[in-house]
Structure 1
Amino acid sequence: MLIGDVARLSGVSARMLRHYESLGLVRPTGRTDGGYRKYSRDDIRRIFHVESLRSLGLSLREVSRALDDPGFTPSDLVDDLIRQTRERITAETELLTRLRRIGAAEPAGWKDVLQIIALLQALGSKSAGTRQRAALSSVEEAPVPVEALVEAALSESDPNVAGALRWALAQLGDGGLTLLAEGLRSPVAEVRKRAVQSIAEIADGEATALLQNALANPDIVVRRYAALALGARGVADAIPTLIDMVVEETSDVDAADALSALASRPALADQIAARLVDCLAHSGVEASARRRLTQALADIPGVTTSRALAELSHDEDRTVALTAAYILRMRDAR
């Protein structure tokens, strides 16, 4: 078979076939009377073998070794090809992500593109100061895609940078809530924590709904952050978790403040007081927790609280009794 016929059959150009011949990779076994290259069936079979190995990413030198070296073993080479392919996929995925983010920002011109690229690079900087400046300027200087800000916020460990990123997301409103909601389902505890913290700073009805759903999250840290944020927003669903935080001495001062804010609504004051009293009466509650619960009653208005404090002023625990009596005097003096 002549070179032109082989090229049509194999899909390998005549020029490449001549290159293979110059490398000694595929040599035609014969010539015609006119001096033209003539390929046998074995030659064509070898061409297909060469192309098959090239499709795996082997260089022509590696292909030659694989076909001609009897002692050649493919395992190490295949492992190396797997590593190279993974690295290439990672690089290409990163490039695709970057391009999508630039496209999502809808840049008006190349100047905008360059600004976006600079900010994206700054968000990925090893310098915390650079990342913080990028977060603070992301809202004003260039329309950085919300996906990039969410990804940065969910991975940021520096508290100052994390705060700047949460602020930037809050300025964008509900644009990143879908991605942050995915963060709440992350298998990584730190990511879940950062997600709920970011949602808590977005003053939006959809954010509030996400926080309410987060009260049922399996992660207790997520539930606590959600409760604190909801308490500040006047959402009664947060009350049980907030009281648990007081009992467990976990951000108990913040939890008590949130309960106080909720109790400014008359409809909730008696409900909160009744729950605090129920906890105080529970036999399994430790003495230190009973003292914190008594202190939490200080800023809860209403008759239910006053009656509870009057009873507690005679409590067997002297500290609880003295605390309740003191709170009562302060309330009477108002």
Structure 2
Amino acid sequence: MKLGKFEKLDLRAYWKKEDSDFTPWLAKEENILLLGETIGIDLEVKKQEDNVGPYRADITCIDTTNNHLVLIENQLEKTDHIHLGQLITYASGLDAVTIIWIAQRFTEEHRAALDWLNRITEDSINFFGIEIELYRINDSLPAPMFNMISKPNNWAKSLRKSVSSENLSETKLLQQEYWQGLITFLEDNKSFVKLHSAQPQHWINAAIGRSNFFLSASVNSKEHSISIALNITSDDAEQNYERLYELGYEKSLKNISPDLLWDKMEGRKMSCVLFKTSGNFTIRNDWPNQHAWFKDNLEKFTKFFRPLVKKV
């Protein structure tokens, strides 16, 4: 069998300039999606060359799960002190909580700097270092590859947060363990649904591809129920709910369940589509059944609603 030749390409042969070539390329939906998949965040581009005083940040995005601001700084060369300074300056000026530094190659000193920033910053601040490479096989089109060089140590931050919470109840600890079990269940069963980190709370969120829309999985120990909701937030929640209702109400009852509850929540800045079933999360022996229900229906919600929310 004849095999192709795997060749690494010079970035500058494809992107001549960072601002006029690479940044517009990265800001395209399919490319920002690829970056988001690498770091585990669903990104929606907000602006290119975003003004920060007299300076301009390369790309700003929205984390669609929580509407937090994400800053991306690009560099088609080896990392340097200038870009590290710009990264911190832009992040503080924009009040970004997730900061992504993309470069051709990271020096050990700059990788260590990002690791240190992840260690000393509060739990809500995250720094990522990403190296980008281009490859092709024989005469194929160039294919980009994002490689994670530095990332937040979420386990360490969660542990530090738990240790600092003196009054964390047994129920809260059990909730965190339950959600971590669901995350592991989804990974082991190769689900395409990606949940945020497990926290000691009765819910956990997942992105669905657009800001002000997100999925949440919840447990209720008083009602002995578990549920999934598509949440619609912001000042335009009712208007967006009505548009989504027109697009998907009838089909959602067939594709997901006839027991879906569509709730506009009039007068509030939030609407939702809710699906609930019985389940007591405090019964450990029943966790596999509950996690399987979550997997099945989170996937149904994502497949059905993801294309619709982009039309709203």
- Which one has more relative contact order, counting CA pairs under 8 Å at least 6 apart? 2
TMscore range, shorter length: under 0.3
> So what's the TM-score if we normalise by structure 2?
0.25
Q: Which has the larger share of strand?
A: 2
Query: What TM-score comes out, normalization by structure 1 length?
Result: 0.24
